[in-house]
Structure formats: structure tokens, C-alpha cells
């Protein structure tokens, strides 16, 4: 099963501090392997922008928490050098984690594909 992931424009995340923030979660089904291919866009004041490319493989064995088996976060452009984007997994969910800068309003958008493989179980 493959889904295209894009946070709705009206639901994009805005930050104004240097704290970590999480985007909308995606559920990782038990007994599955998930491939993630996401772009994280950030736009600050006066149109300054940044972009990251996240590729990851996650595994969820049974109903245990998903684990990130392999991950690559490529910072394609970030003129601010303090903004951050990453992929985190916890409690059956995966989310993009972002960090802006203190006193700077940053709009974040996540676009990409999440593909899950869950083999059928036969008895």
C-alpha cells in the first residue's frame, strides 16, 4: 500500500521558536515494513526558504514500536543553518520533527510518499 502524504495547506505547521515541533502523525501498522520518501519545506520571513529530503526504512515487528532501520536526511538548502528537520518514530507512529528559530516565524510543509509492505499471514 502506498499513500501520498501532504499536509493540507491550511494545516501546515508554523513555528516561532527554537523548540522541537511534530507534524501530523502517520500510523505504522503492526508487522510491516515502511519506506518513506519525504520533502520538508520551510519558508521564513521575506521568502527565505529551506528544504530537506528524508529517505527512511522503518520496521514494526508485531505491535512493538516501529524502529528506524535506515535513515538519510539530506539538507538540500538551508540558508539559516539553525532550522532542522528529521523523522522520528514512537508509539506506532511516524512524524516529521522540525525546529525553527527564536523570534522567527517559519512555515513548514511536508510532501512525499509513504509505502507500507505488510505480508499476508496464513495459518
Tens-digit pLDDT profile for residues 37-59: 999 999 988 888 899 999 999 99
String of DSSP letters for the chain:
-EEEEE--GGG-EEE-SSSEEE---EE--SSEEEEEEEEEEEE-GGG-EEEEEEEEEEEE-TTSPPEEEEEEEEEEE-TTSS-EEEEEEETTEEEEEEE-BTTB-EEEEEEEEEEEE-PPP--
Report whether pLDDT(65) > 50.
Answer: yes
% residues pLDDT > 90 (the chain)? 46
Domain ranges of the chain: 2-117
* Phi and psi at residue 78, to the nearest 5°: -155, 95
- Max Cα separation, the chain? 60
pTM: 0.84
* pLDDT (0 to 100) of residue 37: 95
Per-residue pLDDT tens digits for 78-94: 776 789 999 999 889 99
Amino acid at each position: 500500500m502506498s499513500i501520498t502524504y501532504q499536509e493540507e495547506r491550511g494545516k501546515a505547521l508554523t513555528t516561532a521558536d527554537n523548540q522541537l515541533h511534530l507534524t501530523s502523525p502517520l500510523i505504522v501498522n503492526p508487522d510491516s515494513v515502511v519506506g518513506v520518501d519525504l520533502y520538508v519545506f520551510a519558508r521564513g520571513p521575506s521568502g527565505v526558504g529551506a528544504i530537506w529530503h528524508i529517505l527512511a526504512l522503518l520496521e514494526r515487528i508485531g505491535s512493538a514500536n516501529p524502529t528506524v532501520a535506515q535513515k538519510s536526511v539530506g539538507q538540500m538548502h538551508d540558508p539559516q543553518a539553525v532550522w532542522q528537520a528529521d523523522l522520528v518514530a514512537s508509539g506506532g507512529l511516524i512524524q516529521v520533527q522540525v525546529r525553527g528559530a527564536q523570534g522567527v516565524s517559519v512555515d513548514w510543509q511536508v510532501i512525499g510518499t509513504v509505502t507500507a509492505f505488510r505480508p499476508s499471514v496464513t495459518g
